[in-house]
Structure formats: C-alpha cells, structure tokens
Structure 1
Amino acid sequence: MRNLFFMCFLFITLKTMAQKTPFEISGKTETATYNQAITFYENLAKTYPQAKLITYGNTDFGKPLHLLVLSKDKNFDPAAIRKSNKRILLINNGIHPGEPEGIDASMMLARDLLKAEQLPKDVVVCIIPVYNIDGSFNRTGTSRANQNGPVAYGFRGNSKNLDLNRDFIKTDSKNSAAFQLIFNTWQPEIFVDTHTSNGADYQYVMTLIPTQKDKLNPILSSYLTKTLVPDLYSGMEKKGYPMIPYVNAFGEIPETGIAGFIESPRYSTGYTTLHNTIGFMPETHMLKSYDLRVDATYKLLQTYIDVVQRDAKIIGENKCKADEFVAVQKEFPLAWKLNKSVENDLPFKGFESGKKPSAVSGTDRLFYDRNKPFTKIIEEWNNYEPAISIKKPIAYIIPKAWDKVITLLKLNNVKIEELKSDSKISVESYYITDFKTATRPYEGHYLHSAVTVNPVQNALQYYAGDFVVYVNQKTNRFIVETLEPQATDSYFNWNFFDSILDMKEHYSAYVFEDTAAELLKNHPELKNKLDAKKAADADFAKNGAAQLDFVYKNSDYYEKTHNRYPVARLVTDVKLDLK
C-alpha cells in the first residue's frame, strides 16, 4: 500500500513538474532552450485539444518554424477562423534570442490559459515559440554585456549572422520567408514582437513601441491611440507595471526628451504596418531582474488578450475598413520626417544622473544613482510627416527575370497576373539619376538611400510570362513601398537591382572620336546641347574625355537600359493581353 501511495505521489509530482517551464524550475533565473520550448509545446498540444503545434517552411539552421495555435473551439483553419469573425493575435518570440522574456512568458501563459480553461472566445492566439532558432543555439551568458540575466541566453545574429529584425523586406534568411508564410497565412489583426531594451536607466520594467501612429492607416491609428494604447497602459498600471514609451532619447539622458520610434518595413512592426496589422514591440528594461522582466511580459501579453477579446468586433471592422481604404488609396508616403515643432509633456520616472571619473580611463563617465529616483515632465516628439510621397500607377510591370521580387510579392498575398503574349507597352520608366550608397555593409548589403529618379515615357518590349501587378488590392502599401525605388526599404535600396547600374558596353576613345565628330556634324541639336553644357560648366569645358562621354551618352550607341529601373509603371489604363 505504501509503495502504491509513493508511486501515485511520484506520478503526480512528475506530471506537475512536466507542466512547469525551465524558467520556473530554475527559480526564475534561466530561460528555456529551443528544444525545451518545443518539447513543452508538444506536450501541451498532446494534453489539450484546444492547442495545436504546426510547422512552417524552414530556417537557415535547418529546422522549421513552429507555431502554437490556441483555439477555444478547436478550429485551426485560418480561413475558417476569419470566416467565423474571430480575431487573430500573433505573438513572436526570440527574434533576438538574447532577449528571451517572451519565450518564457508565452510558455507559461499558454499553459495557464489551457489549464484554467480561460482561452478567449473570439480570439485565436498564435505563438511563435522561438523565431531565431539559429541564434538560440549560440548560447552564452556574456553576449549582452549590459543585461541583468538570465544565466544563459541566445545570440542576436542568426547562423548567417543576420539580425532578423532587419530582414523583413530583403528576406536574406529562410527564417524571414517562413515568418512571412505564417503571417500571410494567418493574417493577424494584432501582432506583438517581444524584446529587451538597451539604453538609459530608469524606473520602468516595461516600455512600449506601438506601430508609429502617423504611418498606420488613419482608421487603425484612431483606435490605436484613443483606445488600445491607453487601455494597455491602464491595464499594466493596475497589474503593478506602469509603462512608458520606448526611451528613444535625443541626448545622453532621457531628460533631453524622447522621440517616437519610426519603424521602416525592415523591422517586424514596420513590415506588419504594410498589411494593416497593428504591431507592438514591448521592450523590458535590461537592468531589471529577469524574473520581473518575464512577469511584466506575461502580464502584458495577458492584457493584449483581454483587450482584443473585449474589442474583437471593432478590431475586425477596423481592419476590413482599412483594407478597403488602401485598395483605392491614390497617394502613398515613401519616407518620413519628424516634426520637431510639435511636442507633448510626458511624466517620466527616472533616476538622477551625473558624471564621475572612469576607473578605466580617468575621464568623466555617465552614471545613474538609483538612490535618487525622480518623477519629471520631459518632452516627447511623436509626430511624423511624409518626406516623399507618390501617386500610385495603375499597375507595375516586372520582367520575369526578376524572380526574387515575384517570389516575395506572392509570399505577401499580392495578386499577380502574367502577359499572355509578347507586347510593346507604353509605360513610365524611372531612370536612376542619383543615390547614395553606404560605405560599409549593413546586414550583408551596401544599402542605397537618397534616391532620385527621372520618369520617362516610352514604349518597351515585354514578353509572354512577364508579370503585371495592379495596384488595386489591399496589399497596395506593400506593393508600393517595395517597388518604388525612393521608398526607405525598397527592393532597389536593398540592392535587388544593382546590375542595372553597370554599363555593359563602352567605346575605345580613339575610334569613337571620329564617330562623335560625325554625330555632331549630322545632328546640330546634339552640338547645341554639347555647347550649352560647356557654357554652363567650366570644368566640363576643359575636359575632353567628359565631352566625348557626353556625346556617347546622348547618342543611339549608348545602351538604353543603363540606370533604367526595370520595374515600369503603367499610367495609362490600356487593355493588356493577360493569361
């Protein structure tokens, strides 16, 4: 009898332990490894029919991306879920595996919702356990030198040493392609990407970056600023974790004021904005103890679920209206600038700062005195305005040679059609007239910026199988901000089209001198153009090689494709012969 009692006690103890996370078992000092997290979710899915663990695509590490889906009515078909008018909340963890609070918080939250039978009725919760699987295996306790725990954690870069939170447009990693497959299959209304901050010291455990309100569709922005963000703040205040906007300080310390974060589409929440999904990056404070950071993340995720369940109907209606608005939107911003003339007061709980001699160099160094907390009013600048805008064309035409572009557009649910036969089509082509290029590589690219273009009307030859993308769909923002070269994170700026910037043919000067003389003799308009250039530019007038090159580039000998951006704009509504 005693043995039977002992065996039952042991079974119950093991079952209870099996439901605990490595974070809890360690006394809240350790974060789960990738294998521990997946095993934990596999066991949840086996135990509870309301949970399903699904794999998508692949990663650079050779493992698929997992998605845990929590559905109260056991419906795991995303199309059917949308038809049943339920909302989808997507939580992404471990994009930077050295910032693992979300990994542990999500494990506990999923278990607690299932165990207590508290899954929301109108919200399906989707959790990516660990996005940067590669980096999670590169585990140390030293790579984040400023961070207070956990004992060991993953590394920011993936196995290609890419920061995956810069890869949502260029998609150099398989991880990014797998994420986009998940995102565009499930089409969440709300997205949360869990992080840990760097920077100043202050009293808050949790800071928050919402999708930049001015970049977001106005229908969504109104709900975000008037309802969602205020209710997240009040909910967290009640749970013991007052929040502040992410401390993006203008100077060395927060008292100099903070600016709202502007996320371009390379970032996760900038990417989700292109799809009319409201995104958030919660950032716990690196210097707070790990147990507090996990607890704050747990309570914030809990708050998201409560608010999305409460507002499920209006969130769904807003998303539909925003998609309809974008489908007929005519003008699109491509880049943004901060309006520093508009500011607002923000109560801020910080610590007094000062300077003292460095024990390393002897020079003055910054320090914060945690024995001197304060609450002060600081300035916040959070109004952004378009720096560049364009009117959309009727369609973009993309030659089939540019297959990576087509693959990524399709991955993002962009509807694409194909020409049925060879056709000469009147289009507007951009000639790239100027741009700047970084002098050092950034995330594997020499990124372009400050692009200027010269639009030219011409008739170009296209061929059967070339692609046509009409800008009359809910993915219009994604289409425009990737295909317009002046957009901050356009495919052009990420070097997708750099081969067009090279000349493939040239001339031998001693031969072309005679040809150029003949051209000037037979084409007086060209001679007048050359003379005008010489009169306007003294250096040019002294440079014989430059003048010869000018004649060449203004003649039929010069290749017409040099610097011609290959994605053309259809600006006249003509009937195309489509498959």
Structure 2
Amino acid sequence: MKFRVLFLLFFVVIHAKVFSQSGAKQILTAAEKSYFESTSTYRDVLNFINELKKISPFVRVETIAKTIEGRNVPLLVIGNPLPKSSVKLKTDKRIILYIQGNIHAGEVEGKEASLMLARDILIDKKEILNDVVLLICPIFNPDGNEKISTQNRTHQNGPVNGVGLRYNGQNLDLNRDAMKVETPEVKGLLESVLNKYDPAILVDIHTTNGSYREEPVSFTWMMNPAGDTSLISFMRDEMMPQVSKTLKEKYYTQNVFYGEFVDQRDPSRGWISYAYEPRYITNYIGLRNRLAILNENYVYSDFKTRVIGSYNLLQSIIDYTIKNKTVIKELLQKVDEQTIARGMNPTEKDSLAIESQVRFTNTPITINTFELENKKEENGRERLIKTDIKKIVSVPYLADYTPTRKVKIPFAYLLTVNDPKITSTLKTHGIKLETLSAPAEFEVETFKITELKPEPRLNQGHYNNDVKGEFITEKKKFDKGTIVIRTAQPFANVAMFLLEPETDDGLLYWNYFDNYLVPQWGNGYLPYPVYKILKKTGIETEKF
C-alpha cells in the first residue's frame, strides 16, 4: 500500500511537471502565433510578460519610464536569484546584460526575439542565470509601436500586417537622444537602467536597409574614441569575432559586421560602419566605460529569418559573456579606476577626442553579395537592380574612428550658470556636481566665442549651434555656489563631451546654453559659462 501511494505521488508530480512545461511552451509571441505575419502590439507584449510571471519566480517587471502618451515602458529583470536591490549587484559574481528592442518601432525583430529569449531561458535554459542577470526591454518605443500600419516601411520584407513608426510620441528619434536627453524613454533608460543597474553590456536591436547581401544578421561595436579605446579594441579584436564565429558555427546563422558599401558599384572601395557621435546609444555606452553592441538585421530577409537571426545573435552574445565574464568585469573595473585616477591629476598627454575620422581596420571583411545591373526607369533615371548572381567579396572595413582633434582633459569644470535644465541633464547622466563652499580665485581656461551660427535645417527640434572660438588662460574669481564638475569620476568622458564647447554632441551644440552666449543688447558674444581648471588644484566644495 505504501509503495502504491508513493508511486501515485511520483506519477502526479511528474505529470504535473510535464504538463506545466508543456503549457509554458505554448506561451507564444504575436509573431509566432501569426506564423510571422504580425508583430506584437503593446498589449500583446504586456500579456506575454504577465504569462512569464505566472510560470517563473525568476522574473520581475519594473518600469523604465512613462511615455508622452501615457504608456509604461517595461523592464524585465531576470535572475536566479532575483537581485533584491541593484546595490547588491555591485558585488555579485554574475554579470549584467541589458537587451533593448523596438527603439525604432518599425524595426521589430528585437521585440519578438527578446521576448522569445526570456521565455526560453525561464523554461529550458535556467542554467544561464547562474552567471548572468538579464535586463530586457522588449518595447522601448511603445508610442511608435502603436502606430502599426501596412504603410510603414513598405520596402521591408514583412511582417505583412505592418509595423510601427520610427519616432516616439514627441516625433523624436530615441536613438539620437542619448546626450541631450529630451525624451522620457531615454531619461528612464539612464536613470532606471544604466545608473541603477550598471549593465556591463548593452545590446540595441534594429533593422537596416543597407547594401544588397545574403547575411540576415549584422552587428558591430561602439565607435567613439572619446571613450576608453581599450574597450573598442577588445570588442573589435576579441569579443565580436568570437561572437560572429559562434553565431555561424553553433547557431548556423550567416552574419557580417554592420555596414554598407561605400559604393555599391565598386565594392573594393570598402564597407563602412555607422557614425561615431554619442547621440547614438551604443556609442554613448562606450563613453560610460561599458560595452555595447549594435544589432542591425537585414531588411530584405524575411521577417521570420530576421527574428531567428537576432535571437541567435543574443544567444551567441550570452555564450561569450558567460565564458568570459571574469575577463569582462575585470576590464571594466580597470578602465573605471584609470578614468578616476586620470582626473585626479591630469597630465599633458591626457586628452579628449572631439573630432574623428573613420579609417580602415586591420582586418578586411568578407560579404556575400550579388551582381548588380543598371535599369533605366520611365523618367530616364538609372538605378542599380540586384540580380540572382551571387558573389563573395573581401573588402576593407571602415570602422576605426581615429581622433583628428583633441583637447586637454581638465582637473575640473566650473559652471557659472545654475540653469535647472543644464544641471538636471548632467545629473540624469549620473555626473556628480558640487558647489564652491566659498568665493575663490582660480587660473582657468576661458572659451571666447568668435563665431556662432545655427545650422540651417532643424535636427530633432533644434537648430544646432556651429561655434568657433579660442581658449585663453586667465585668473578669475568665482562666487560661492559656482558649480564644480570634477573629472575624477567614472562618467568623466560623458561630462567632458557634454561640457566642451566644440563637440558635435555637447550641450552647447544642442542649444542648452543659448540664453547665456550673447548680451541682451549690443553685438558680440559673452564668454562660454563653463571654465576649465587644467591642473590639480585645491577646491573647497559642498554638495550640490
């Protein structure tokens, strides 16, 4: 009798477990349910997340931000155990990886792939959580997503039932907002993800038009040399080649580093990556001394292939991250320590790149492409048409940005205008502000403007400033309460790029200082109200 009871109990437990896993595997994204003819709506995403919460204790949902149209941007925190607080993660043996989908809501692979990945890890691949804490935002741009239409991105090969819009509810591009931070989504990313959890790696998922090729998946690393270039070298020479190899050999997915032909007619001129400005989130992450991967899936591959390709890339990144988590964590800690030490006593050789030019990497790139032919249209214009004739080319890769102009790294900046828009933006970036506790005199570099012109065309709601001028050295008295920004802090590169007057993504460029650059009456310009103390100096400060 005892044996029979134990047998029945065993049968019930096993049956319940099988039934539970079987039922869990029926949790499908809208893309999977529709055989990849549709993408998920905002409600679909929330419903899917709620189903994940029912099947696993290893996921919780936080809110990154509330959009202009009133939608919460969800963040999945996945871990075993779940981190009780972000503070305790600083000493955790696990590594933190942040995955972001749908920043451009017409580019929807990341939304579907990241949800599928979360489900599969929680059901079948829980061992991953021994080494990784996953942060996943599947739908970073909910407002754009809810404008799904078959008239959006009509050149895109699916989903046939339409996709959302590129822009958010403010008609702004979220992937141009990393520095100026004028959207609730990006503000939330900085405050509720980057500053709070400090992920070692960010993956930002997109769809690219690009040049004709066979590879459905492309990806690359952060580009801006104003960040620590040892991180760029690590990504370019170590991590990305290994991820590419795993993606091809383990997950059977053709891939290529992101870019397009400089000239489709003449591939030998090279394959060029994306721009270097830190307004792009992946480049911004580099300025924060962290690793970032831009995933661009090929628009002319069918929707299912793009989603599965992105999913496989995420698996490849996780594989590499687990295997090399100690190396990555030690590298990032070393770079943070070096950044702080540099700011404590800057030398003549310490400099910040403010202008850069792209050059070839040391390794050429191989692309599976097609022969093209000219076709004359009815209006008489000629355009290139892809043929079915395949060809493989090996060409130089333009993805190594080299500084063409640098400025000295100061010991500290002095900000003489306490403008809440400026100070709140700096604080949102995680930059530490202090104030002078008493009046003081310092030798400073002052930027004297000689020419200031707005760009002729609006860019993200701004007529960006084009400024020219020169630095002069002078002794100057500063009032108590003057804001002090030291460069001996982890996000010094971000602070410097924002405060230097001549960068192409700083606060002056984005019009934050416009009220303070010209006199109310008369001609000429006022001194730029950010002064630089170059050498190590005793500064008596108090909290901002």
The reply to whether TM is greater than 0.5 is yes
Change (3 A) 1:467 1:85: farther
Alignment of 1:117-132 (within 5 A): 117-132=126-141
Could you say which structure has the larger radius of gyration?
1
Give the drift of 1:96.
0.2
- TM-aligned CA deviation for residue 33 of structure 1: 0.8
Does the alignment pair 1:326 with 2:342? no
Task: Kindly indicate whether the alpha-carbon contact (under 8 Å) linking 1:431 and 1:456 is maintained by their aligned counterparts in 2.
Answer: no
Separation (CA, whole Å) in 2 of partners of 1:505 and 1:363: 53
2:465–2:510: 8 Å Cα contact kept in structure 1?
yes
Report the alpha carbon displacement of residue 261 of structure 1 after superposing the two structures with TM. 2.6
Within the alignment, does 1:497 sit opposite 2:513 as a pair?
yes
Contact 2:448 2:526 in 1 (8 A): yes
SS at 1:192 equivalent = strand
Matches within 5 A, 1:348-367: 348-359=367-378, 361-367=379-385
| Aligned equivalent of 1:514 | none
SS at match of 1:264: coil
Alpha-carbon separation, structure 2, partners of 1:180 and 1:64: 16
| 2:224 and 2:283 in contact (8 A); partners too | no
CA distance in 2 between partners of 1:279 and 1:13 (Å): 34
Distance 2:479 2:74 in 1: 41
Going from structure 1 to structure 2, the CA distance change for 1:383 and 1:263 (only over 3 Å counts) comes to: closer
Report the Cα offset of residue 216 of structure 1: 4.8
Task: Work out the CA distance in 2 between the residues paired with 1:38 and 1:578.
Answer: 47
| SS at structure 2 position matched to 1:171 | coil
For 1:270 and 1:280, locate their aligned partners in 2 and report how far apart those are by CA, in whole Å: 9
SS of the counterpart of 1:120?
helix
Partner residue in 2 for 1:75: 83
TM-score by length of 1: 0.84
Match of 1:474 among 490, 512, 529: 490
Mark the runs of 5 or more structure 1 residues left unpaired by the alignment: 1-7, 507-548, 554-561
Mapped contact 2:225–2:353 kept (Cα < 8 A):
no
Q: Is 2:364 aligned against 1:345?
A: yes
Structure 1 residue 144: deviation in Å?
1.0
**2:398 aligned partner:** 381
Which of residues 156, 167, 180 is equivalent to 1:157? 167
SS at match of 1:224: helix
Contact 1:333 1:389 in 2 (8 A): yes
Conserved? CA contact 1:98–1:153, under 8 Å:
yes
- So what's the TM-score if we normalise by structure 2? 0.89
Cα RMSD between the aligned structures?
A: 2.3
For residue 111 of structure 1, report the CA deviation from its aligned partner: 0.5
Following the alignment from structure 1 to structure 2, what is the Cα–Cα distance between the partners of residues 498 and 393? 24
Q: Structure 1, residues 231-256: CA drift from partner, whole Å, max 9, x if none?
A: 11111112221211222322244714
- 1:236 partnered with 2:247: yes
Q: 1:74-113 residue pairs with structure 2 within 5 A?
A: 74-113=82-121
Matched-pair contact (CA < 8 Å) for 1:200–1:253 = no
Taking the TM superposition and a 5 Å limit, the aligned residue runs for 1:25-36 are: 25-36=33-44
Residue 93 of structure 1 aligns with an amino acid whose one-letter code is G
Contact 1:352 1:374 (8 Å CA) reproduced: yes
Change in 2 beyond 3 A, CA 1:410/1:12: closer
Separation of aligned partners in 1, 2:166 and 2:182? 16
User: How far did residue 38 of structure 1 move?
Assistant: 1.8
Residues 129-159 of structure 1, C-alpha deviation per residue, up to 9 Å, x if partnerless?
Answer: 2111211111112221321111221100111
Distance in 1 separating the partners of 2:266 and 2:245: 22
Inter-partner Cα distance in structure 2 for 1:24 and 1:468:
53
**C-alpha displacement at 1:16, in angstroms?**
5.2
Query: How far off is 1:228 after superposition?
Result: 0.8
The equivalent residue for 1:391 is 408
Letter in 2 for 1:46: K
Amino acid at match of 2:153: R
Structure 2: distance between partners of 1:153 and 1:14: 31
Which residue in 2 is equivalent to 1:563? Answer: 526
In the aligned structure 2, how far is the partner of 1:463 from the partner of 1:415? 18
Q: CA deviation at 1:62?
A: 2.1
Taking a change above 3 Å as real, the CA distance of residues 76 and 252 of structure 1, as seen in their structure-2 partners, is: farther
Task: For 1:13 and 1:49, locate their aligned partners in 2 and report how far apart those are by CA, in whole Å.
Answer: 14
Q: Partners of 1:453 and 1:13 in 2: how far apart?
A: 67
Closer/same/farther in 2, CA of residues 450 and 243 from structure 1, 3 Å limit? farther
* Aligned twin of 2:148: 139
Q: Distance in 2 between matches of 1:254 and 1:302?
A: 35
Indicate how the Cα distance of structure 1 residues 320 and 16 shifts in structure 2: closer, same or farther if over 3 A, else same: closer
Identity within the alignment, %: 26
Report the Cα distance in structure 2 between the residues aligned to 1:315 and 1:438, rounded to whole angstroms. 41
Aligned equivalents of 2:84, 2:206: Cα separation in 1: 27
Q: Which residue number in structure 1 is paired with residue 186 of structure 2? A: 176
Give the drift of 1:80: 1.1
| Cα drift, residue 213 of structure 1 | 7.8
The runs of 5 or more residues in structure 2 that have no matched partner are 1-15, 343-349
| Distance (whole Å) between structure 2 residues aligned to residue 229 and residue 433 of structure 1 | 44
Structure 1's consecutive aligned runs of 4 or more residues displaced over 6 angstroms after TM superposition are 11-14
Instruction: Choose which of 504, 510, 513 in structure 2 pairs with 1:488.
Output: 504
Residue 183 of structure 1 and its aligned partner are, at CA, apart by: 1.4
Alignment of 1:150-299 (within 5 A): 150=159, 151-181=161-191, 182-212=193-223, 214=225, 216-238=227-249, 239-253=251-265, 255=267, 256-299=269-312
Deviations 1:361-415 (A, max 9, x none): 232221111x201112223233321122111221111135222222122222222
The code of the aligned residue for 1:138 comes to K
Could you tell me how far apart the structure 2 residues matched to 1:367 and 1:333 are? 40
Question: Residue 78 of structure 1: SS of its match in structure 2?
Answer: coil
- Indicate yes or no: 2:326 matched with 1:313: yes
Does the 8 A contact of 2:211 with 2:260 survive in 1? no
8 Å contact 2:444–2:475 — kept in the other structure? Answer: yes
Q: How many residues align?
A: 513
Q: Which stretch shows the higher mean deviation, 70-79 or 174-183?
A: 70-79
Question: Is the alpha carbon distance of 1:420 and 1:230 closer, same or farther for their aligned partners in structure 2, counting shifts above 3 Å?
Answer: same
Determine the C-alpha separation between the residues in 2 that align with 1:80 and 1:203. 45
Q: Deviations over 1:303-357 (max 9, x none)?
A: 11111111111110000011112223332212211246x7653222101111012
Is 2:204–2:293's contact at 8 Å kept on the other side of the alignment? Answer: yes
